[in-house]
Amino acid sequence: MKNKKFLSLQYLRAVSILGVVYAHISYSVIGILSVDILFVLSGFIILFIIDKKKYTFKKFLFSRIFRILPFYYIVMSLVLILGYAHEPNSKNIILSFLFINPEIPILEPGWTLQYEMFFYIVCAVSLIFIKEIKSIYFILSLILLGFGIFFNYFWYLEKAYNHLLEFWMGMSIFFIIRKDLFKKINKIYIISILLLAFLFSIYYSYVLLSLEDGRIPYRFIVYGIPAFLIVLCSLLYEKYNELKEYKILLLVGNASFSIYMSHMIIIYLYSAYIDSGSSDFKNMVIILLSVLVGFFIYLYIEKPYINFYKVRWVK
C-alpha cells in the first residue's frame, strides 16, 4: 500500500469540496455529508503518511502547521479587512486565530480546521513516545474517544457532532485496507453499500429540513457511519478493480484545500456586488468561480509554497 495513488480518495475529495461549496451557497443541509467524508479521509491519510514517511514529532507537526496556518491566517485577515468576518469582536478574533473558538470562528468554515489542528497535535505528541503504527492507532483511538466526549458535551455545547470519532473511523479504514480484511469482495456488494450509505444520508438530510433548531443529533452516527462506508467502499473498489484516471477530478481534489479556504470570499463578494438573490444560476456560477480561483491559488501559490517549505523546514 506504500506506493498507492488512491485515486478514489482524490475523487472523493473533489466531490466533497464541491458539496461543501454548494451547501454554503444554498444554506442547504444537502451536502452536509461532504464535511464528514473529509474528516474520515483525513484520519485515513494522516495515519497512512505517518506509517509511510516515518515522521518524527518535529517533522510531522511542522509539515501540518506550515501546510495550514499561513494560508488560513491570510484568509481570516482578508475577511476581517473586507468586513465579512463572523462576529469580529476581539475575543472571537483571538480564539479563531488560536484554533480554540467554541462557537463559530470569524471565517465560518474554520471550525473544521479546529478539529484538524487538535488531531494533528495529538498525532504529533504520540510520535514522541511511540513509533509502532499499531500502538499509535491504539493510543490515538483512546484520545479521540476521550476528548470527543469532552469536546461535544463540555466545550462545543451547541454542536454534539463528535467529528473526532470520524478521524478514528478513517484510521480504522487504514488498517482494514492494509490487512486485507475484505479480500476479493464482490464489486456489486461494494457499490450497493456505497449507494445505500449515500442515499441514507440524503434521506436524513431531508428529515433535518423539518428540524427548527438547526442541530444535527448524533451526527457521527447519521453522517459519520455513511461517510465511513463511502470511504471504505471506495478504497475497496479501487483495491480490487481498475479505476480510470480523470485529470479534472484529480486537479479539483488536489486543489480542495485552496477551494475550501477561498470559496467563502467568492460567495461574499459575488453576493455583495453581482447578485444578492438566490437562484440555481447563481449557485452554478459561484461553484465555477470557486473552483477556478481555487485552481489558480493551488497551482501558483499553494503548490509552490508546499514545495518550498518541504525543502526548507520538513526534510
More confident residue, 222 or 50: 50
Asked whether the predicted pLDDT for residue 30 surpasses 70, the reply is no
Structure-derived torsion over alpha carbons of residues 148, 149, 152, 153, reported in degrees to the nearest 10: -170
pLDDT (0 to 100) of residue 151: 66
pLDDT (0 to 100) of residue 211: 59
Is the entire prediction scored with pTM above 0.85?
yes
Tens-digit pLDDT profile for residues 6-27: 899 999 999 999 999 998 998 7
Q: How many CA atoms, within 13 angstroms, populate the side-chain half-sphere of residue 233? A: 20
pLDDT (0 to 100) of residue 58: 86
Asked whether the predicted pLDDT for residue 213 surpasses 60, the reply is no
Looking up cell 480561483 gives 293
d(CA 153, CA 192): 35
Query: Terminus-to-terminus CA distance in the chain, angstroms?
Result: 22
Tens-digit pLDDT profile for residues 140-182: 999 888 887 776 666 554 455 678 889 999 999 999 998 888 8
Residues 60, 61, 67, CA angle at the centre, nearest 5°?
Answer: 95
Tens-digit pLDDT profile for residues 85-132: 999 999 999 999 999 887 889 999 998 999 999 999 999 999 999 989
pLDDT (0 to 100) of residue 1: 57
pLDDT (0 to 100) of residue 233: 93
Q: Which cell is 45 given?
A: 491519510
The confidence band for 227, taking pLDDT boundaries of 50, 70 and 90, is very high
Asked whether the predicted pLDDT for residue 35 surpasses 60, the reply is yes
More confident residue, 135 or 162: 135
